Structure 1
Amino acid sequence: MTVKQRSKPRYAELGDILQSGIERGDYPVGSLLPTELELCERYQVSRHTARAALTQLLAAKLVQRRPGSGTRVIAQHEAMRYEHEIDNLDLLIQYGNSTRLQVLAAHRATATASIAKQLEISTGKDYLHLDGLRLEEPSREPIAVTEMLVPIRAGTPVEELLDLSISPRTVAVFLDASRLSQVEQVFDAVSLRANEAALLNVKRSEPAMRVQRHYRDGKGQLLMLAISKHPPGRFAYSMVLSRTRR
């Protein structure tokens, strides 16, 4: 007799069954899933297996569990999450190269006092303003909306950056690791504007993680200020800090 081996643990199989039911609409958003005991009876599994299957749905951010309230469906589809470990400049550039930048608009603008301070130029000087969308590969799901502010200096490829057909490639070459000395990063939380939420397919009320990056060349001059906004569940940033031994 041939014994058929399972390709997945039983809890994972049950988790997949329940997830498929959620995605089909068998369990609409806002409804309750069967209890652990009901799952045990229906699928002939142990209480431990049922609990592990529900934990799998929790990790996928499809359900929410509260003591005494059961397991409630909060999303029909698993949230796409892009996670990248970054602890040096080369890995940061790799993140840019492993995702796709879509430039939606580009124009020349005149710097206000506030913008001039951020770009380290004089008030009234021209700069470039690019609006883009960062996409995960290969799914093409949006990870973030991105504003790119570029001070115009000798060597800035102005016409190429303004040409939407080639600007994504131009940005990649312009910020090539070989010409960068450092990238300063600041993280904070903000609210999405209506047009940004629409591009990311989320509600306007959703909070976002904002990442501001100052890219500097070998002389320390600012090449670009990039401001990216990531909605919940789309991006995770990790790094490892080690004690320096002398």
Structure 2
Amino acid sequence: MTATPRFKQIQEYLQKKIESREWPVGTRVPTEAELCEQFSVSRMTVNKAVRDLVNEGWLERTPRLGTFVCQKKAESPLMDIRNIADEVQERGQRYHSEIVSLQSISSPEDVAMRLGMMLGSEVYKSEIVHFADDMPIQLEIRWVNPAHAPDYLKQNFSTITPNQYLVSQCPLSTIEHTVEAILPPPHVALHLSMDSRHPCLLLHRRTWSEGQLISAALLYHPGDRYKLSARAVLD
């Protein structure tokens, strides 16, 4: 049996300390010299172990101060739609949500344009904060065409996500995503427990089912806790 490389052993040691929360976010980890002595390995071996964990988002280096445990960023696929509750739980974190509002509104101009409806038409609106380990990672503001999801407001969105419900009722055929980096409006910063001077990622999403435009959403994510990824296969 091939022995686990030494740099991997060091990585596993560091990750266990972080995942068990023995080393919470902000903890300064041992120096490379200290790890060299602890594991009886070369500086190059320790450097690779630490460098890989920095690249993977577990650690961050601060010049002249040291290496610290950082808030590992959650990640969602940009070219697909997944249930955020499943994403959080697959990362080994606890998921829950808080409903800010759930109501029927008369669509203002911007919402009517997003949904391709007449100005003033009835629209269902939900505003929900999604959490991972009690840390807010997404504020979801969604508008839904009642003609395609008439029971939307009757759902218990503390046990099911809007995405999960809508996909079960209106199977997706087309999605549209646009991403921008912005400074969060005050109410967004409040719900995401972030400084309004720090950037957030805003994902604009629209979804269709069998050619019908079903919903439009604004998904706000703290820039230091979240990232979006895409992968394409080229011919």
The two structures have a TM-score, normalised by structure 2, of 0.71
User: For 2:194 and 2:51, how far apart are their aligned partners in 1?
Assistant: 25
In structure 2, relative to structure 1, the CA distance for the partners of 1:103 and 1:215 (3 Å cut) is: farther
Within the candidate set 152, 166, 178, 1:174 is matched to 166
User: For 2:28 and 2:122, how far apart are their aligned partners in 1?
Assistant: 54
Aligned to 2:35, the other structure's residue is in SS state helix
2:63 is equivalent to residue 73 of structure 1: no
TM-aligned CA deviation for residue 151 of structure 1: 3.0
Runs of 4+ in structure 1 deviating by more than 6 angstroms, as ranges, are: none
In structure 2, relative to structure 1, the CA distance for the partners of 1:50 and 1:179 (3 Å cut) is: closer
Aligned-CA RMSD value:
3.8
2:141 is equivalent to residue 147 of structure 1: yes
Residues 174-213 of structure 1 mapped to structure 2, 5 A cutoff: 174-176=166-168, 179-197=171-189, 199-213=191-205
Within the candidate set 208, 215, 219, 1:224 is matched to 215
Residues 104-119 of structure 1 mapped to structure 2, 5 A cutoff: 104=99, 105-119=101-115
2:120 is equivalent to residue 124 of structure 1: yes
Aligned to 1:165, the other structure's residue is in SS state coil
User: For 1:30 and 1:169, how far apart are their aligned partners in 2?
Assistant: 34
In the alignment of these two chains, the number of paired residues is 222
User: For 1:72 and 1:84, how far apart are their aligned partners in 2?
Assistant: 29
User: For 1:169 and 1:74, how far apart are their aligned partners in 2?
Assistant: 31
TM-aligned CA deviation for residue 107 of structure 1: 0.7
The two structures have a TM-score, normalised by structure 1, of 0.69
TM-aligned CA deviation for residue 205 of structure 1: 3.5
TM-aligned CA deviation for residue 49 of structure 1: 1.4
Q: Percent identity?
A: 18
Unaligned runs of 5+ in 2: 88-94
Within the candidate set 138, 153, 156, 2:149 is matched to 156
Deviations 1:59-88 (A, max 9, x none): 33422154xx3633263xx515234374xx
